[in-house]
Structure 1
Amino acid sequence: MPLKPLIGLLGVLVAALSAEFNELVLATALVDVRGALGISHDPGLWIESLYASGVAFGMALAPWLSVTFTLRRFTLFAIALAGGATLLIPFAPDLSVLLGLRLVQGLGGGFTIPLLMTTALRVLAPPIRLYGLAVYALTATFSPAISSSIAAFWTDVVDWRFVFFEALPLGAVAAVLVWHGMPQDPPRYERLRQFDWKGALLLAVGTGSFTTLMYHGNHQDWFNSHEVWILVSLCVVAFPLLALNEWYHPLPLLKLQMLARRNFAYGVLGLFLFLVLSLSSSLLPQTYLVEIQGYRALQGHWITLVIALGQFLMLPAVAYLLDHSWADARGVTLCGLTLILTACVGSSLVDASWNREQFYVWQVLQMVGQPMVVLPLLMIATNAVQGPAEGPYASALVNTTRSLAAPVGTCVLELIERWRGALHSERLVDQVGQMRFNPAHAATLLPGSVAALPSDDVGGHAERLAHAVETQASVLTTADSFLILSGFGVALAVLVVLLPLRTYPPRILFAKH
């Protein structure tokens, strides 16, 4: 196989990873960045939600635009757009400009990430396609895990501005590789006469409303808020109209007819469920260590680094396994899910005495299990794509659905905190109250949280008990979060059993045709 297309694919990979870091590293370092820029909590929510809106819209449009303007030109444009907006954010003169740049940054990131799948499906021959899909899988398994380490390095060691400045070298390398390696196709400007303007408008309204709802719904007290009712109404109207428009449009942005293929529908739904499930490994342990044990990011990032570095060993190993006709991708997926669910259940045993070391065993299980889920899923889905012409449509559907996983996952964790956290707090306060602040009884109820205090120190004892109740409620909520997220893994296991049909590795499958 010629080397130049592989160089181009490497460039798109670097650009996609940079776009992922723009989202994930900033999300991890958001408290430090908000503090440095003097932004309070409420405006900080818009920093995340506007980026998510831009990503969702960009992922839906990118494959169509890449065919129209050529893959090479549009990739370079996406790299420049994302990089330029990222570098300007630290110098924004006010909050409104910053939020506008954040939306543009999300749009650039959304443009970039689907191009990795589009490029892989185009340039990789069947004998090596599985290993190319392993490259794409890095954006689903490696990026979320390594982002904590990168954020910790920038904020605790270097300077918070490098959360944004990292885009400069990554974007430059990506642009050079894409410029050199990507084929120079002729543009197809005639497609612009058939551009799906209605679909684009409905996508902007639907995805923008949905992502805003996911990030702001809990803060707005859900259906007690008029704003939430408006957002829900927009979603209810926009998405059905979008589906109807895309189904009948001659040149749609999203080719919904592909979802009639069982294996492709499994890939779209399965990747969404997997990405929500992966929050159990990338976000929950780090959040627990920061909030309960008082870790700085630089102290806690080692547990996610285990997963990140393990991908360079596990993804090629799983690709090699799947490249044999006797390996059933569905069976490999179920084995991986078993490991991930075991890790979730094991992590749910967390208590107030846990530190970084107690998470390592469960993170290793996540490290092994995640590639065994995501790579078979990608193989099953892409094997259902019929020819290179369908590659952009497949990328649009898979990545648009994928873009909604992070907002949904964030919303799920906030709902767990809202409902289960409040329940645990009420129960603990009630039980402590029944014990009439007896230190011995309280120490039994709140193990490891109440130290001996002088009997006449009533105020100090009450303050210590309040802190102990808050800590224990947070620990119990974290345990619940692991269990509830594992429910997404159970749903994915059911989906694996019911939906996809047996398929074979591309090297064997496409040799038969």
Structure 2
Amino acid sequence: MNASTEVAGASPALVDVKRGPIVAALIIGAFVAILNETLLNIAFPDLMTEFSIAPATIQWLSTAYMLVIGILVPVTALLQQWFTTRQMFLTAMILFLAGTIVCGAAPAFGVLLVGRVVQALGTGLLLPVMMNTILVIFPPEKRGGAMGMIGLVIMFGPAIGPTLAGLIIDQLNWRWLFFLVVPLAAFSVIFAAAFLRNVSDITKPKVDILSILLSTAGFGGIVYGFSKAGEGSWSAPEVVWTITVGGIALALFIIRQLLVREPILDLRAFRFPMFSLVTVMMLVLMMTLFSTMILLPLFLQTALLMTAFSAGLTLMPGGIINGVMAPISGKLFDKYGPRVLVVPGLILVLLAVWLFTYISVDTSAGYVVALHIILLVGISLVMMPAQTTGLNQLPRSLYPHGTAILNTLQQVAGAIGTALFISIMSSGTKDFMAEKPNATPAEGLVAGLHDAFVIGFAIGCVALVLGFFIKRVQAPKEESKQEVA
């Protein structure tokens, strides 16, 4: 069957297409990209020493990565209507491979940063394509299990990343964080070239340059502004101006998308109530999740005086269990629907975050491991089932737009959550030390963490309230007709 026949086939289930090799290609690419994203942070001290740079400079390796993804992902809805699944995925992985090679061989920090940006271009293309392809090749009643497999890979990378990075740095050096990924990325390209099929609809809509510029300025300004706020002060002119300009550009972008005939990001997806509900809930939940994922390593290394490698080992069990739970929750979702998973999952998340408000300098590592496992089991019951529920309500024509919206807003939530909770922690630490000048820095940090976790708990309560309104939705009439055809 040739590509045109595949695309022309009206059935989203695409009965004649072998789903296994397609899913395998997606999983390999996603694992490679997400693993590398989590490997690098632990190498920051070594990179600062080698290139003689300050912490504010080294943070650009993370800030630029997040910024590029935040800018690129909204445009992927347009790109997926211009280019085939194979073209998008192979371009993404080749960019990622090229960026990885540049990073590993970088003679100077500037070159390393360029390589990181090229990697981010690949990752930004990859994530929405992966979700959209799953929506196209699986009917609604089987998407939970497929999304669960993707969730396993997405969570397994972060679970082993810090520990693996610590081991590599101890035994070799930071360049091997990239060199060891090169064969995996190359294998992903070869495997996808051999087995990945074209499953997308190519409509080639009109390219609205003004919308792309507004999207870039809007999402880029907001992600950059909040990222910089997390590094320093909310009142810094750079932060105020970038967030302001980003907000204005984003408002103009939204207005334009509602007016033009062929928007690059079709906001009509928000006409579907379950998609809108899930989008808001995921935005809130991601902020709560970041309150924990950002603050826990600080607690382990600063208050409990663990090495980066030990901290990675402490957080690894929760990540592995989360990865194992992802396909299980996907299968349960297919059988029972979202509510029986999402509500208990959110309760577990809130329980863990609330118990984190009681940690101290005397807290044992085992207690942190237990709470982290509870948190990530809860997340595994919520993330993929909720996203799949929201996307299931959309007609096929809106799949690229729905996946782009969800991925973009999660990047924005990550930037806002990081900045918000780091600033709350810093402010709480400062106030505590002012009240108790004889306290140790570790005690001050813990006091700041308590404040951040309390706010994280409050925000998480909003997600729980929204979770009670989530329910299984029927496939749109457009999709049902296609399947019959």
TM over 0.5: same fold?
yes
How far has the Cα of 1:299 moved from its partner?
A: 1.4
Partner of 1:107: 121
Q: How far apart are 1:385 and its partner, in Å?
A: 1.5
CA distance in 2, matches of 1:423, 1:102: 37
1:282–1:304 CA contact under 8 A, matched in 2: no
* Aligned CA distance change for structure 1 residues 186 and 17 (closer, same or farther; 3 Å): closer
2:204 aligned with 1:191, yes or no?
Answer: yes
Counterpart in 2 of 1:445?
Answer: none
Q: Greater Rg, structure 1 or structure 2?
A: 1
Q: How many residues align?
A: 467
Q: Tell me: CA distance 1:36–1:473, structure 2 relative to 1, closer, same or farther (3 Å).
A: same
Over residues 199-226 of structure 1, what are the superposed CA-to-partner deviations in whole Å (9 max), with x where a residue is unaligned? 1111111122112211212545332x33
Measured after TM superposition, the shift of residue 381 of structure 1 is 0.8
- After TM superposition, the structure 1 = structure 2 runs for residues 224-243 of structure 1, keeping only pairs within 5 Å, are 225-243=236-254
Match of 1:332 in 2: 341
1:478 aligned to 2:449?
Answer: yes
Equivalent AA in structure 1 for residue 28 of structure 2: V
TM-score by length of structure 2 reads 0.88
- Structure 2 equivalent of residue 403 of structure 1: 411
Q: Which runs of 5+ in 2 are unaligned?
A: 1-14
* Structure 2 CA distance for aligned equivalents of residues 426 and 263 of structure 1: 47
Matches within 5 A, 1:304-383: 304-324=315-335, 327-383=336-392
AA paired with 2:432? H
Give distance in 2, aligned partners of 1:186 and 1:127. Answer: 20
Query: Letter of the aligned partner of 1:471 in structure 2?
Result: A
CA distance in 1, matches of 2:458, 2:274: 22
Asked if 1 retains the 8 angstrom alpha-carbon contact of 2:136 and 2:200, the reply is: no
Question: Retained in 1: the 8 A contact 2:211–2:253?
Answer: yes
Q: State how 1:209-224 maps to structure 2 within 5 Å.
A: 209-223=221-235
Question: Identity of aligned pairs, percent?
Answer: 22
User: Helix, strand or coil for the counterpart of 1:222?
Assistant: coil
Q: 1:408 to 1:156 in 2, by over 3 A?
A: farther
Structure 2 Cα separation of the partners of residues 249 and 23 of structure 1 = 36
Superposition map of 1:29-428 within 5 A: 29-138=43-152, 141-184=155-198, 188=202, 191=204, 194-223=206-235, 225-324=236-335, 327-387=336-396, 389-428=397-436
More moved, 135-144 vs 412-421: 135-144
2:354 touches 2:454 (CA, 8 Å); kept in 1?
A: yes
Q: Structure 1 residues 504 and 66, CA, compared in 2 at 3 Å: closer, same or farther? A: closer
In the alignment, is the contact (CA less than 8 A) between 2:338 and 2:471 conserved in 1?
no
Matches within 5 A, 1:435-454: none
Cα distance, 1:366–1:232 mapped onto 2, change above 3 Å: closer
TM-superposition CA deviations, 1:398-433 (whole Å, max 9, x none) = 11111222212210222112211111111111xx4x
C-alpha deviation, 1:241, in angstroms:
0.8
Equivalent residue letter for 1:40: A
Deviation for aligned residue 1:132 = 0.9
Q: 3-state DSSP class of the match of 1:254?
A: coil
**Contact 1:151/1:297 (<8 A) preserved:** no
In the alignment, structure 1 residue 488 sits paired with structure 2 residue 459: yes
Name the SS of the counterpart of 1:404 in structure 2: helix
1:191 aligns to what SS in structure 2? coil
Distance 1:32 1:485 in 2: 32
1:439 aligns with none
C-alpha distance in 1, partners of 2:208/2:32? 29
- Provide the C-alpha distance between the structure 2 equivalents of 1:362 and 1:308, rounded to a whole number of angstroms: 12
C-alpha distance in 2, partners of 1:16/1:243? 30
Residues 319 and 373 of structure 2 are in contact (CA less than 8 Å); yes or no, is this contact kept in structure 1?
A: no
Contact 1:22 1:167 in 2 (8 A): yes
Work out whether residues 62 and 112 of structure 1, in 8 Å CA contact, stay in contact via their aligned partners in 2: no
**Distance in 1 between residues matched to 2:143 and 2:231, nearest whole Å:** 44
Deviation per residue, 1:60-110 (Å, 9 max, x gap): 122321331211012101111122112212433434333333323222211
C-alpha distance in 2 between matches for 1:316 and 1:26: 27
- Return the TM-score normalized by structure 1: 0.84
Q: Distance in 1 between matches of 2:232 and 2:292?
A: 28
In structure 2, relative to structure 1, the CA distance for the partners of 1:199 and 1:16 (3 Å cut) is farther
More moved, 377-386 vs 14-23: 14-23
Q: Which amino acid aligns with 1:329?
A: P
Secondary structure in 1 matching 2:468: helix
Amino acid at match of 2:212: A
Change (3 A) 1:241 1:255: same
- Please name the residue that 2:3 is paired with: none
Gaps of 5+ in 1: 433-467
Residues 78 and 99 from structure 1, CA distance in 2 versus in 1: closer, same or farther, beyond 3 angstroms? same
* Closer/same/farther in 2, CA of residues 186 and 478 from structure 1, 3 Å limit: closer
What is the identity, as a one-letter code, of the residue corresponding to 1:210?
I
Whether the 8 Å CA contact 1:347–1:482 is kept in 2: the answer is yes
Per-residue deviation at 1:510?
6.1
Instruction: State the 1:23 CA deviation.
Output: 2.6
2 CA distance for matches of 1:58 and 1:107? 7
CA change 1:6–1:57 in 2 (3 A) is farther
